[in-house]
């Protein structure tokens, strides 16, 4: 829980991290499992993961989401650039993945505001995932 201070003693209000608002470890894991169930069955993007260990990919992405939403200080995986460059990923594939994140979160009952917040955070790293743009 992060606090915003009015002065050194008085906190104005408390703001939870995005991680906490997504429902913590369990909430994030549900999103990641749901989005990959769609990704691995979507002909537009499934091929990128043809040779992947799917269980490992779900675990890695859950760890990355936890890190990037403020649930964990460190990320011990590869950099997003190192991971994605050279795979031929374009804007279209990126948007497909984002669509799967959005629809999974809708199905889980998350509000649009929270969905936008997570998507905006992932968008910040967009240049690292893509081959062009
Ligand atoms: C939405 C933003 C995205 C995030 C946050 C993300 C995150 C990640 C993470 C955390 C890994 C694992 C890195 C590691 O092993 O240390 C990974 C691997 C990978 N990602 Fe992404 N990714 C995104 C978008 C995409 C897109 C759009 C594609 C292609 C459609 C893609 C394809 C892959 C592939 C092929 C791997 C390697 C899987 C393997 O090791 O076999 N990613 N990604």
Q: What integer is the mean pLDDT of 28-43?
A: 98
Mean pLDDT in the chain?
Answer: 91
Q: What are phi and psi of 121, to 5 degrees?
A: -65, -40
Nearest CA to ligand 1 atom 27: 94
As a residue count, the chain comes to 133
Q: What integer is the mean pLDDT of 9-26?
A: 81
- What pLDDT score was predicted for residue 24? 96
Nearest to 32 by CA among 104, 122, 83: 104
Q: pTM of the full predicted structure?
A: 0.90
How much of the chain exceeds pLDDT 70, in percent?
88
Q: What integer is the mean pLDDT of 123-127?
A: 88
Asked if residue 62 lies in contact with residue 104, where contact means CB atoms within 8 angstroms, the answer is: no
The dihedral region occupied by 10, where left means phi > 0, alpha psi between -120 and 50, and beta the remainder, is: beta
- What pLDDT score was predicted for residue 110? 97
The domain spans of the chain are: 23-129
- What pLDDT score was predicted for residue 13? 58
Q: Is 17 in the pocket of ligand 1 (CB under 6 A)?
A: no
20: which 2 tokens? 């906490």
Reported as a pLDDT band with limits 50, 70 and 90, residue 127 is confident
Q: Ligand 1 pocket test: which of 57, 58, 118 has the largest number of ligand atoms within 8 Å of its C-beta?
A: 57
Nearest to 111 by CA among 23, 41, 43: 23
Q: Is 54 in the pocket of ligand 1 (CB under 6 A)?
A: no
Half-sphere exposure in the Cβ direction for 38 (13 Å, CA): 16
Q: Is 28 in the pocket of ligand 1 (CB under 6 A)?
A: no
CATH fold for the domain made of 23-129: Globin-like (1.10.490)
């Amino acid at each position: 829980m992060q606090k915003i201070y009015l002065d050194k003693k008085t906190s104005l209000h408390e703001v939870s991290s995005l991680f906490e608002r997504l429902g913590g470890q369990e909430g994030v894991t549900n999103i990641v499992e749901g989005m990959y169930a769609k990704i691995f069955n979507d002909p537009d993007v499934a091929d990128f993961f043809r040779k992947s260990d799917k269980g490992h990919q779900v675990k890695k992405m859950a760890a990355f989401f936890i890190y990037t939403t403020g649930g964990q200080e460190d990320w011990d995986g590869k950099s997003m650039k190192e991971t994605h460059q050279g795979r031929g990923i374009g804007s279209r594939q990126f948007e497909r993945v984002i669509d799967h994140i959005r629809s999974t979160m809708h199905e889980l009952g998350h509000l649009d505001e929270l969905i936008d917040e997570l998507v905006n955070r992932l968008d910040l790293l967009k240049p690292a995932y893509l081959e062009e743009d």
